Structure 1
Amino acid sequence: MSTPDILCIGSVLWDVIGRTASHMKPGADVPGRITRIPGGVAMNIAMTLGRFDLFPALLSAVGQDPEGHELIGECQRRHLNTDHIYRSADLPTDIYMAIEAANGLIAAIADAHSLEAAGDKILTPLMDGTLGSDAAPFAGIIALDGNLTTALLQQIAVEPCFARADLRIAPASPGKADRLLPFIRATRGTLYVNLEEAGLLCQTTFASAAEAAAGLVDRGAARALVTNGGDSCADAIQGSVLAETPPKVLVTRVTGAGDSFMAAHIAAEHRGADRPSALTQALAAAAAYVSGEVAI
């Protein structure tokens, strides 16, 4: 079995998304469309990497229920490596539910309890020699998502089997932003967050993505990329902050936009793009996704 260049570790689940062209307020009942598609941060990143002709492997927890078998089939149909996914007979396949309207994301609930319950079982291939071990750590890119528990993320930040990995980390949602703190404390990895998440991590409010990215690096992050919807995005390392405004497009969907940005940025740098070019390519890919130009 060949070793994949990129691992995507985190949530692989079903996205149930209700979308309407109407504006919505709490309690509103409006017509729209409801879809069920493969999703989860790790899955979304892997699917986007696949569109850039990369072949990532997924490390996650998926049940052996009918929903899980169907989901694994969808992954394989998209040519994603599912050989290392932990398949539990006792845990149901996770699910995410969201409502999107003309005025943005109205509400969402992520049921990732099975992923959390599986714990470090999903990391077994990185510890038992299949993909890596303490003595021979995996040396490629690893995309992590904040649906993992705080304890597991703390473990990853210091675990020897991750010592040589190029860690790329996203919080999954503002409510899980503080789960990224172990990587700031360890000055490890590249953080991909939005403006709100950056503020939560730094316990302050930022006026711009550039200010937020610089603030995260000042706090200890090795590198931070901060998005802010249609406003300027930033990439910061110690002593250098890049900023760029994304293309203007008509927004038709928002769930998964940050994951598409992160995956496109990883793919660009995997191909050898420099920091300015990678940022430009990632913003273009995210704009194409939210405009509906990219099929799911």
Structure 2
Amino acid sequence: MTTRKDILCIGAVLWDIIGRSASHMRQGSDVPGRITRLPGGVAMNIAMTLANFGMRPVLLGAIGRDPEGDELVAACAGLGMDITHLYRSEDLPTDRYMAVEGANGLIAAIADAHSLEAAGSKILRPLTDGRLGHAKAPFDGLVALDGNLTRSLLEEIAAAPAFARADLRVAPASPGKAERLMPFLAHGRALLYVNLEEAGLLCQADFSDSAEAAAGLLARGASRALVTDGSRPACDGGPEGLISLPPPEVLVTRVTGAGDTFMAAHIVAEAEGASRQEALSGALRAAARYVSGETAL
């Protein structure tokens, strides 16, 4: 059904509308800058980086049958994605994400992923109807899952036989949606990629650094957790122990998509046989290149 380099990317596939300015900003700021529109969403951002590394991402998400959706599907195909299994809705519009970034980082963002949430389990049909898997032969490859899905659907995935053999990698879409990943602590079958704030929300605790946060997630039931903390050291926590490494020092020119780049680079490194330390180091370097503007998704 799949090849060694296939990976399912499940979640938000939408248009990113990003306003960036070189000025420091605060509430009410009105400054010059640039506004761009490009394919985005957590699942899509991860898929784009995976494709750049030579993998073949298979997208599972919801896109409307509107002009914006047709344009987005064409863009995904042009970027090397397998779009065969996308759910195309007749009555739901294509989702969008809007963010404003200044020299002092992300100022504000709104994620409109209502169509993905409304589509619900329809996006997962290929995993049970024989196209990508079925009851007697569930999908047994890599899966990158984002937290834009509803909590009820994430609860279903955490316990579903369709994912029992998958190498499941999960990330929240934002700190505001981090608590949706609680089911993966209860079932302990996924590797969680979170930042320090998200780890604290999941554990309902305040952590001083990524190592403390990773240990906290493991204590709450996670099978493995990777915790980032901006320019401070990141930590990979698992049954074998904790590994902490600092990210390279770079000038930050953008932030939207950095976490997705980190996750994708880490997945690729481990798929190619890298050790835990090598994979963490490579992912930190990839994220640093991205935020510095050296590479694009």
TM-score (norm 2): 0.98
> Is the CA contact (8 Å cut-off) linking 1:170 and 1:192 kept in structure 2?
yes
Structure 1 runs (4+) greater than 4 angstroms displaced: 1-4
Correspondence for 1:68 = 69
**1:280 Cα deviation (Å)?**
0.6
Correspondence for 1:27 = 28
Q: Percent identity?
A: 67
Correspondence for 1:186 = 187
Mapped partners of 2:254, 2:131: distance in 1: 38
Residue-by-residue CA offset, 1:206-237 (whole Å, 9 max, x unaligned):
01011101110011100000001111000001
Q: How many residues get paired? A: 296
Mapped partners of 1:216, 1:238: distance in 2: 12
Mapped partners of 1:180, 1:73: distance in 2: 31
Correspondence for 1:135 = 136
Correspondence for 2:247 = 246
**Alignment partner of 2:261: what SS?**
helix
CA, structure 1 residues 22+65, in 2 after alignment: closer, same or farther (shift >3 Å)? Answer: same
Mapped partners of 2:113, 2:287: distance in 1: 25
Correspondence for 2:55 = 54
**Alignment partner of 2:17: what SS?**
strand
Within a 5 Å distance, the mapping from 1:265-276 to structure 2 comes to 265-276=266-277
**Alignment partner of 1:157: what SS?**
helix
Correspondence for 1:176 = 177
**1:60 Cα deviation (Å)?**
0.2
**Alignment partner of 1:268: what SS?**
helix
Residue-by-residue CA offset, 1:170-202 (whole Å, 9 max, x unaligned):
011000000110010001100000000000001
Return the letter of the residue paired with 2:198.
Answer: E
Q: Structure 1 residue 16 and structure 2 residue 13: aligned?
A: no
**Alignment partner of 1:56: what SS?**
strand
CA, structure 1 residues 184+16, in 2 after alignment: closer, same or farther (shift >3 Å)? Answer: same
Return the letter of the residue paired with 2:214.
Answer: A
Return the letter of the residue paired with 1:40.
Answer: G
Q: Structure 1 residue 152 and structure 2 residue 153: aligned?
A: yes
TM-score (norm 1): 0.98
Correspondence for 1:100 = 101
Residue-by-residue CA offset, 1:226-269 (whole Å, 9 max, x unaligned):
00111100000135000000001111110000000000000000
**Alignment partner of 2:56: what SS?**
coil
Superposition CA RMSD, Å = 1.0
Return the letter of the residue paired with 2:176.
Answer: G
**1:5 Cα deviation (Å)?**
2.2
Mapped partners of 1:166, 1:79: distance in 2: 22
Return the letter of the residue paired with 2:39.
Answer: P
Mapped partners of 1:83, 1:293: distance in 2: 31
Mapped partners of 2:208, 2:2: distance in 1: 46
**1:2 Cα deviation (Å)?**
4.9
Mapped partners of 1:205, 1:171: distance in 2: 18
Correspondence for 2:213 = 212
Residue-by-residue CA offset, 1:55-100 (whole Å, 9 max, x unaligned):
1100000011000000011111111100000001110000000000
Correspondence for 1:125 = 126
> Is the CA contact (8 Å cut-off) linking 1:135 and 1:161 kept in structure 2?
no
Gaps of 5+ in 1: none
Correspondence for 1:255 = 256
Correspondence for 1:37 = 38
Correspondence for 1:284 = 285
